[in-house]
Each structure stands twice: as C-alpha cells, then as structure tokens.
Amino acid sequence: MKIHGRGPNGNYLMPIEEIRDLVISGENILERIASYRNERIAALNRGEGAVKAVYEPGHSLIVLHIIPFESFSSYGGGLINVSLKEVAEIIDLPRLGGLTSEYTYTLEGFAVFDASGTDNGYTHIHTNGIIEGVWNLAEPNNIWTLYPNRVEVELINKCSNYLEFLQNHGFVPPLVIMLSILEADRLTVASPTDFSMRPPGAGHFKGRKNLMFEPTFVSNDNQKIPVLMKGIFDSLWRAAGASGSPSYDEDGNWVP
C-alpha cells in the first residue's frame, strides 16, 4: 500500500521513516483534534462564532467539524488560498444548513454564511484545512425542532462538498468528521409518522446541553460518505430514543 503526504510542492510518496513518525505522532494529533473541538464548542456556547450575526448564545446549533490530520501535523506543508482571485469559487461553496449569500475574511481564513432570516448558518474555512460549519436551528416564535431526516441529507451533501473542496486544495486523508449539537435539551425531534419514540414536547434530549458524537475517520478518498456517516446518524436517533437511523437498509445502504 502506498501512502501519500503533501508538502510545499504538492503531493508526494511518503518515505517509510516519515510514515513511522506519522504513526507515532497519530495519538498526539488525535488529542490535539479533541482539544480543539472542545475549545470550539466552549467558544460557540459563549457566542464566539466566526460570524456572530448568524446566532445568539443559547440557540440550538448543529456544529460540524472536518479536520485533516495534517492540519495538526508537522508534515502539513500547504495552505488553502483564500485570496480575492478565489472568491468566486469559495462563494459557491454552500454553507452548512442552506445556501450562501455572503462571505467574509477572518483571522483564520474565510467564512461563507447567510444571516438574512431564520435557519441561518455559516461554514468557516481555515487556511490550514480545518472546516467548521454551524447551523442555527432557530425557528419563528422560538420553536426548536430537529428533523433528523433533513439533517442526514444536509450532512451527507455538505460533507461531500467539503471533502471535494479539501481534495481540490491538496488536503488528503486521514481526516476526522465530527458532529455536535449545542443546547440540545431544548429541542424536540420530529420523527416519521411510522416511527415510535417519546412524544413531541417531552424533551428528547432532556438534561443534555451539548451532544458530542464520536468522531468518524476518513482514511482514503474512495470511502462513501453515507456509509461513513451511519454511526453518527445511528447515535443521533438513539439519543432521541430510537434504535438507530431508519434511513439504512439491512446491508447498511443509505436509502432515505
């Protein structure tokens, strides 16, 4: 099996010494990724998002993190170019939760967002390859509803977009996909009519302020996103009192 890395001159075949060092440092990278995630969740709970107009502290949020290992590796050699010449490409990158209407530069990179009404959100692209998506679940009259079926479709589509974006900018696996839900205890889960769970309004995530699902690892470019995301989706449905996602058949195929 051949393993490729990336340096200032693009992708290259990694020598055995570098592969060994990468394996040894892998645990440290995972610890750093976990620490970064915790820091970002704490910051978002304080209202310190990349685009403050998108939400207010106390809003229920879906948070997506996609983090290449090389973002925390000493071997990561490249950066995403977010100069003006690429604005046209990046503005077409849809933000988490919907379409993009605005963009802004940030200290870390670039953000695409929509703060024009309800169902707002942003996707923050860091120059080192980290992607953070925030989807505000606020509805009129302070109704807070989670639609797991829509979440599945949205995450599969957007993860595919973002992984392709990273690949086009030279970022290669391994990488981690992580899903979190903030202020989960105020949400009611909307379920299919033929699906039995606790009644609406019962507080499906009662007592669970933040839900932080187990990371999903992408080890190569050939893995299918719906298959990778099954564990996250099963956990999401189980957290609401279900046995797992109803969107997969007996063979593990995603059939919404």
Burial class (CB in 10 A: 0-12, 13-18, 19+), 2: exposed
CB 171 within 8 A of CB 214: no
The pLDDT, as a whole number, for residue 1 is 44
Prediction pTM value? 0.83
The pLDDT, as a whole number, for residue 182 is 93
The pLDDT, as a whole number, for residue 25 is 54
Instruction: Give the residue from 138, 67, 136, 147 showing the smallest Cα distance to 97.
Output: 136
The pLDDT, as a whole number, for residue 186 is 83
Q: How many CB atoms lie within 10 A of CB 47?
A: 12
Q: What does the pLDDT profile of the chain (256 residues) look like in tens digits?
A: 444 554 445 555 656 655 555 555 556 888 889 999 999 999 999 988 888 777 777 888 999 999 998 888 755 445 665 554 455 556 667 889 887 778 888 888 888 888 776 568 899 999 889 999 999 887 766 667 888 888 999 999 999 999 988 888 888 888 999 999 999 888 877 765 434 444 444 456 777 789 999 999 998 877 889 999 999 999 888 877 778 888 999 888 998 7
The pLDDT, as a whole number, for residue 13 is 61
The pLDDT, as a whole number, for residue 107 is 86
The pLDDT, as a whole number, for residue 202 is 44
Q: How far is CA 119 from CA 48, 137, 152, in A?
A: 18, 6, 16
